[in-house]
Chains A and B, each alone.
Chain A
Amino acid sequence: MPGAIVTAVGIMGGLGLGFATVLAVAYRFLKVEEDPRVAQVESMLPSTNCGACGQPGCAAFAEALVAGRVVPSGCTVSSAAAIESIAELLGVDAGGALKRVARVHCAGGTAESRAPSTYQGHASCRSAALVSGGGKGCTWGCLGLADCAASCGFDAIVMNANGLPVIDPDKCTACGDCVDACPKDLIEIVPIDKPIFVQCAALSKGEEAMAECAVACDGCGRCAADAPTGLIEMVNNLPRVHYELDIPHTADPTLRCPTGAIRWVTGLQYNAESDSRRKHGLPR
């Protein structure tokens, strides 16, 4: 009996020794040299693997950084200081990427918009959208069932009492997950230094839009008329802001809006109480 134990230990020990040798040899001769800076940069990244930078994750972004394919500011999650120190370590320019945030093209919460029927069923915007449109009078508006909030990995979105998602620009990393989650395509990522924003997505015009929602854009075009040339274009009864043209502007185009559908948004879009019109002293 003891002989068997000795044999077993001997065999296992021998095997272990054999494999260890193979591994040691492989480690010595088949080693792939990795730039030590990759690991270092990776440790400076937030490890959220959110994908907002366009890479599959933080490790891949670190590799791309060291290889010089991207600039440090491509990471929208890291603080400015962290980005600066990565740039310093690599001896590159941090890159001037602007902070961008997600904003919602709808301000028609339960208080402002008409709901001809109540939706029952799986509590998700995507599911509700398939049931006769979700029960909201406005075909385009926010359903308020929080698919965007559930998709956000940074807890940047909370639903307010009025049934609208409130996005915290400080927490939002512009990763775009909520953009994909919204079945009504209401969320857009916009540069934070251009606060002019259209809070409506209804393609219907004038009275028709207003019958469904008190804060709908009625397509009057005053904002476009008041804006510097090219900044705002009326498309399908809705103003479209051309952020990409980088046209300097003020809050002027929002001032004559009869419904408050176009607004100068700094900070939170709407807050817990949310009645955007009354809060901002807009007419009606």
Chain B
Amino acid sequence: MSGFAHGVHPPDNKHYTEKLPIRRYPFPRRVVLPLSQHIGAPSRALVAVGDRVQRGQLIANPGGFVSTALHASVTGTVVEIAPYRVSSGALVPSIVIETDPFDAQRLEERPPLDPSALNNKDFVQHIQMAGIVGLGGAAFPSHVKYAVPEGKRIEHLVINGAECEPFLTCDHRVMLESPEQVMGGIAIVAERLGVRSTHVGIEDNKPDAVEALRRAGGGKGNIQVDALHVKYPQGAEKMLIKAIHGREVPAGKLPLELGMVVNNVGTMAAIYDYFQTGKPLIERVLTVTGPGVAEPANLLVPLGTSVREILEYCGIKPEVTQVIMGGPMMGQPLAELDVPVQKGTSGLLVLTKAGMAKEYACIRCGRCLEACPELLNPQLLAKLARGGRWEETESRAFVFDCIECGSCSYACPSGIPIVQLIKTSKAELRKRQRAK
């Protein structure tokens, strides 16, 4: 294992939840299902207000190829289709379902479907119609990765079990508790893509997960389970490929360029479940953690459950100052708790200390340069962005190569919100591109 260059070592803080088995969260009274929980075109609603829907029923079709289906996460009645606020602060048209309190919330199962009996096009369509997206956080529709363009071949499958974000333990628990599902999903995808090798990358602070996957069949044939030295951001696609294969994805390109596909372990389990029972993506495991939670937990939560309800369920301490959706490095701080859990929600982190460090001037120490796994110059990026020199962040400092991992901000002794300045610049440049 060659590892990847630079990176940081934040305290992993996984002790809150790593030993806690996944529990099912009770069905909420109502769910809010945004039509855009993934990267790409929003889904198109198929139901109307007043319709009765079954848990697992298709309620929205994909709005294009890079888009995915959406299913009811509870049995109940559609009471509203209206814009609702989501974690990003945007208003997104959403389907609101009121749960039928007298229903058993059973899921219709169908006999297992043999994926190898499907042709490529049907396979891709099945995954799309199952609403499956990357569960690592980015929520990129998974089927797009399997629709390999003409003339390209996927040689290597890389499975991401690194879970390098501090605090989060949902992938860890999934690997421990459902290793068969994870390995089953891997087998399905590996066979479909016809890869030569499959590597599951897991950081070596999770030896039990490595063990569990090896017992479930990893390490045999051309499937390898690799224990990687802990370093943030190991779980970023490009870093993982570098750590496992020692190869670099060219700037601005996808892993596809090297004949590789990277998938998250949770996604693999979801794919396995779908082919076994027909269960679409209607719930996910998330970690509720941090010093501000009375009872930290790994919960299996129906999509659309309100963050506020989950936090009340786990109990938040009065001294809470901040709630972050996702992990501390890349997560999104929430301005309001009345937002739904979405397909990409991997955790809720509740903090008790005031958020931002006091900011000082840049002392040119270069620690951000040493931290950046993309080998960028974060100091320069921050300076240009602060001055509103958006074009230069692209032409002189390659702003679009930044993966927003936050290592630079973490490393900066002056408390400069470097990655936030970078994100601002990217948003500004994208706005200009759209205006053109």
Q: Which residues of A contact B (CB under 8 A)?
A: 116-117, 119-122, 124, 126-127, 129-137, 139, 151, 183
Residues of B within 8 Å of A131, CB to CB, are: 89, 332-333, 335, 420
Q: Are A134 and B89 in contact (CB under 8 A)?
A: yes
A39 to chain B, nearest CB (A): 32
Q: Are B356 and A121 in contact (CB under 8 A)?
A: yes
Q: Are A117 and B335 in contact (CB under 8 A)?
A: yes
18 A–B contacts, CB within 8 A, in A order: A116-B335, A116-B336, A117-B335, A120-B355, A120-B356, A122-B421, A127-B417, A127-B420, A130-B420, A131-B420, A133-B90, A134-B89, A134-B335, A136-B335, A139-B90, A139-B91, A151-B388, A183-B427
Is B222's beta carbon under 8 Å from chain A? no
A251 to chain B, nearest CB (A): 33
Q: A191 CA to B355 CA in the complex, in Å?
A: 44
Contacts A116-B335, A116-B336, A117-B336; A132 near B87 (Cβ below 8 A): yes
Q: A23 CA to B258 CA in the complex, in Å?
A: 59
Name the residue of chain A whose CB is nearest to the CB of B337. A116
Q: Are A130 and B90 in contact (CB under 8 A)?
A: no
Is B367's beta carbon under 8 Å from chain A? no
The one of A122, A134, A183 that contacts B417, using a Cβ cutoff of 8 Å: A122
Q: Which positions 49-97 of chain B face chain A at CB distance < 8 Å?
A: 85, 87-91
Q: A124 CA to B388 CA in the complex, in Å?
A: 11
Q: A137 CA to B91 CA in the complex, in Å?
A: 12
Q: A15 CA to B421 CA in the complex, in Å?
A: 53
Q: Are B421 and A127 in contact (CB under 8 A)?
A: yes
Q: Are B85 and A124 in contact (CB under 8 A)?
A: no
Residues of B within 8 Å of A116, CB to CB, are: 335-336
Contacts A120-B355, A121-B356; A130 near B423 (Cβ below 8 A): yes
Q: Are A130 and B91 in contact (CB under 8 A)?
A: no
Residues of A within 8 Å of B424, CB to CB, are: 122, 124, 126-127, 130
A271 to chain B, nearest CB (A): 28
Q: A131 CA to B333 CA in the complex, in Å?
A: 7
Contacts A117-B336, A121-B356, A124-B424; A133 near B417 (Cβ below 8 A): no
Q: A136 CA to B386 CA in the complex, in Å?
A: 23
Q: Which positions 319-378 of chain B face chain A at CB distance < 8 Å?
A: 332-336, 354-356
Q: Are A132 and B335 in contact (CB under 8 A)?
A: yes
